[in-house]
Structures are given as C-alpha cells and as structure tokens.
Amino acid sequence: MNVLVINCGSSSLKYQLINSESEAVLAKGLCERIGIDGVLTHQPAGKDKIKTETAMPNHTVAVELVIKSLTDPVNGVIASLSEIGAVGHRVVHGGESFAESVVIDDSVMKAIEDCNDLAPLHNPANLIGIRACQELMPNVPMVAVFDTAFHQTMPKKAYFYGLPHEYYEKYKVRRYGFHGTSHSYVSKRVAEILGKDYASLKTIVCHLGNGASISAVMNGKCVDTSMGLTPLEGLIMGTRSGDLDPAILNFIANKENLTLAQVTDVLNKKSGVLGLSGVSSDFRDLEAAAKEGNQWAIDALDTYYYRVAKYIGSYAAAMNGVDVIAFTAGVGENNPPGRETIVSYLGYLGADVVPEKNNCRGEEKVISSDQAKVTVMVVPTNEELAIARETVRLV
Ligand code: AMP
C-alpha cells in the first residue's frame, strides 16, 4: 500500500509518499507560502527537486497540487489517486485524549479541535490539512499520529507542575512532551539494533534538532520527557530558551516595556543558542564562529551541551540507571564534537565515546567502547516512516 504522510503547518505542508511493503520513499516535497503566493518543491525518488511557483490560496489547493505532482506523467510516481491507500497526518497536540494514533472520524476531529488551546499555532493547521485531504480523497482512510501520544505513559509525578491543582483540573495545565513519534521510533530502533528486549531496556533518547527534547524510556514506556505544556520547556534549543526562572517573564516585560505575549515570543523565537550567541541557531555556524574565537558562540555551545548532560543525569536518576543513550535529529546525528562533549560529563555513569567510532554522521552506529557500562549510539530518526507504519497498522 502507498501511504501519503502529511505534516501541515499554518502556511506550509510537507509530504512523503511511502510504499509500506518496501518502506521506500517514492516522492517527497514541500508546499510553502500557502495563502500568500505559493511555492511547491517536489522530488521524485532518485531525481532532482522540481521547484514551481504557483498560486496556493489555501491548503485544499496545496493538496490538489501535491496529488497532481504525484500523478504527473513525467515527474509523478503513481498513475492515479486510487494508488494512495491511506493518509497519515502528523498532529502536534492530542492532549490527554490520545495515548495512541487513531483512525480519523468526526469525534476525533472534535477532540483535536478541543486541543487547539494547547497548541494554537499547530493544531488548527493540522485540522485544515486533514479537511483538505478529506475533501479530495473522501474514501481514503486517514490516521492521526500525535506528537504527544508516546508521552502519555508518564506518571503524574513526571507530568504535574508545582501549581495549584485547579489549573490542571480547569485547563489541563500539565506537562505533555513532544517529538513523541521520534522518541518512540528511536527507542524501538535501539532495541532492534542491539537485539535486546524493548520491554526491559532503560534508554535515554536525545532528540537534538532545531527543536530539542530528551526522553526517558523504561521497559518500553516513556516515563519522563523534557518538553512541557508547550515545546518551550526543557533543553536550550535553536531559538527557544528551554527551562528558566518563570519570574524572568515579568522582570523582562517591565525592563523592556513588553507585554507577556511579546516576552513569550522572544523566548520562542529569539532565544536559545541564537539569542545567547548572537550568531545563529544553526550549529554549523556556531561551531565555525567558536573556532574563530567568538566567546559568545563558545559559551552558547557550552551552555547547550551542559544542559543536555544535566537532563541525562536526571533521567538516569529517574530510571535508577540507564542502559543506552541514543542521539538523534539534526545536531544529534551530525555533530560528533557535540556528542563527545555531552558524554564527557557522563563518566560516572560508565558512558564513553570512542573518537574514531564517533566520527560519523547520519548513520546507525554504536559510538561507545565495548567495555562501556552504558551503550552510546547514533540512531537517525525517521518520523515520516513511523507515521506511515502507524497508519498501515490502523487501516
Ligand atoms: P532538525 O531540526 O532535526 O532538522 O535539525 C536541524 C539542525 O541540525 C540545524 O539547525 C543544524 O544546527 C543541525 N545540523 C544539521 N546538519 C549539521 C551538521 N552537519 N553539523 C552540525 N549541525 C548540523
């Protein structure tokens, strides 16, 4: 079966067509500037990208263009729409309603809508994407795969904030966690690669991309993760602050004459390694600036890696031990010096990194020594494949 995987943002839509038997990506692409003007980038497997500027007044038109590209006589990969067996949608927030992926029906749409408050930038866009696909493919089954679902197994002690409990009761203010599809995929892959039983492993997954989060996965279940009510909590990220003293919001609002919404915007978009370094949110730029002696870039990297190491230590404590530490996503997969720096804090756990093994990018690999007590690995994430697998499982 061919599964169309859709990841819809407010003005963008990413897609991949995956054959579920071979798990090959037949084509992938991106619609950008939806509702503004419109740019479509389509890439059939093994061929160059084709970039077209074309009007995309709304998401339905964008999905129409995606289908047109997939069925195009020259650059298409299927003969007709009937070759799409199912659609898997990434949905950011499932609140407490979804601990698993689900086949989408009217009640699921309503429940996703009920979570709009918790992810005002993402969930409405996800719903628009689903509706656009339903309109054009009314008889094709659709599945929602939630970023939050994998973390629903966290115990209360991991998801409660130290706040008046009526905020939880009235508004569901608690920690949810994100990147769940990635944490689930990588933790399972770790067990497969090592030939170990998923149900008896203690794994810490470090998803270090532009957004970054860590999870503690014990006996096949997530027991803690670093993101919270929103994806702002936890690690220092490309542009997001991660954990900080909540009193800083009011302090900066007063000093800079900003509203709380404006300060929150700074914490989301102008902070993290970008804000601290004043250079870039991209680790390639930061490494280059640090090499040239830029002290703010050096300090931003130090602070970033130190925070990751502290989280690993706290999750080793949460699980009373750790068997595997796995690095994934853009920075985790492609940045050997970063991995080495993080693991240099973890000698007390019995973790190490062998520089020759660590000199790798984007491949599945054990990078610790044979005698290390904790296995350190690189495991590239594949959220689209995980969504396609979930979709096939449910339809
Ligand atoms: P992601 O959000 O998973 O796509 O990760 C994006 C981030 O990965 C970028 O902002 C870069 O900081 C980082 N990245 C990608 N490639 C490299 C590389 N070769 N070396 C260092 N960092 C990289």
Q: Which two tokens stand for residue 371?
A: 């005698």
Is 121's pLDDT higher than 90? no
User: In terms of pLDDT, which residue wins out, 352 or 121?
Assistant: 352
As a whole number of angstroms, the distance between CA 50 and CA 149 comes to 35
pLDDT, tens only, 64-99: 999 999 999 999 999 999 999 999 999 999 999 999
Q: What's the CATH superfamily of 2-146?
A: ATPase, nucleotide binding domain (3.30.420.40)
Question: CATH classification of 197-378, choosing from 3.30.420.40, 3.30.497.10, 3.40.30.10, 3.40.50.970?
Answer: 3.30.420.40
Alpha helix ranges (H) inside the chain: 59-70, 106-114, 123-136, 156-159, 165-171, 180-194, 247-256, 260-269, 272-277, 283-291, 295-318, 329-334, 336-344, 355-358, 383-394
How many other C-beta atoms can be found within 10 angstroms of the C-beta atom of residue 283?
23
Domain with CATH 3.30.420.40 in the chain: 2-146, 197-378
As a whole number of angstroms, the distance between CA 241 and CA 232 comes to 7
DSSP 28: E
**Is residue 335 lining ligand 1, measured as CB closer than 6 Å?**
yes
CA 284–ligand 1 middle distance (angstroms): 7
pLDDT at site 307: 98
For residue 121, give Cα distances in angstroms to 9, 258, 299: 8, 21, 31
DSSP 237-263: -SS---S--THHHHHHHHHHT--HHHH
pLDDT at site 119: 86
- Please identify, by atom number, the ligand 1 atom nearest to the C-alpha of residue 286: 12
Is 6's pLDDT higher than 90? yes
pLDDT at site 118: 86
pLDDT at site 324: 98
Find how far residue 381's CA is from the centre of its chain. Answer: 9
pLDDT at site 69: 96
**Is residue 209 lining ligand 1, measured as CB closer than 6 Å?**
yes
Is 248's pLDDT higher than 90? yes
Confidence of residue 55 (pLDDT cuts 50, 70, 90): very high
Question: What is the C-alpha end-to-end distance of the chain, expressed in Å?
Answer: 10
pTM to 2 decimal places:
0.94
What is the CB-side half-sphere exposure of residue 371 using CA atoms within 13 A?
A: 1
Pairing of strands 2-8, 13-19: antiparallel
Does residue 285 have an active-site annotation?
Answer: no
As a whole number of angstroms, the distance between CA 394 and CA 309 comes to 37
Hey, whose CA ends up nearest to atom 8 of ligand 1? 330
**268 CB contacts (<8 Å, ≥6 apart)?**
232, 239, 240
As a whole number of angstroms, the distance between CA 218 and CA 319 comes to 7
CA 139–ligand 1 middle distance (angstroms): 39
pLDDT, tens only, 25-40: 999 999 999 999 999 9
**Is residue 75 lining ligand 1, measured as CB closer than 6 Å?**
no
pLDDT at site 9: 83
pLDDT, tens only, 94-118: 999 999 999 999 999 999 999 998 8
**391 CB contacts (<8 Å, ≥6 apart)?**
3, 5, 86, 87, 88, 101, 143, 145
Find how far residue 164's CA is from the centre of its chain. Answer: 30
pLDDT, tens only, 250-304: 999 999 999 999 999 999 999 999 999 999 999 999 999 999 999 999 999 999 9
pLDDT at site 122: 87
As a whole number of angstroms, the distance between CA 229 and CA 119 comes to 9
As a whole number of angstroms, the distance between CA 132 and CA 13 comes to 11
**339 CB contacts (<8 Å, ≥6 apart)?**
327, 332, 353, 358, 367, 376, 378
**Is residue 331 lining ligand 1, measured as CB closer than 6 Å?**
yes
For residues 118-124, average pLDDT: 86
The single residue of 114, 147, 323, 370 carrying the catalytic annotation is 147
**Is residue 165 lining ligand 1, measured as CB closer than 6 Å?**
no
pLDDT at site 117: 86
**Is residue 187 lining ligand 1, measured as CB closer than 6 Å?**
no
Pocket test for ligand 1, best of 335, 339, 381 (most atoms within 8 A of CB): 335
φ and ψ at residue 240, rounded to 5 degrees: -100, 145
Pocket test for ligand 1, best of 185, 236, 280, 283 (most atoms within 8 A of CB): 283
Confidence of residue 11 (pLDDT cuts 50, 70, 90): confident
- Residue 6, SS3 per DSSP: strand
Pseudo-torsion of CA 238, 241, 242, 248, nearest 10°?
180
Hey, whose CA ends up nearest to atom 7 of ligand 1? 330
Q: In the beta sheet, which residues pair with residue 289?
A: none
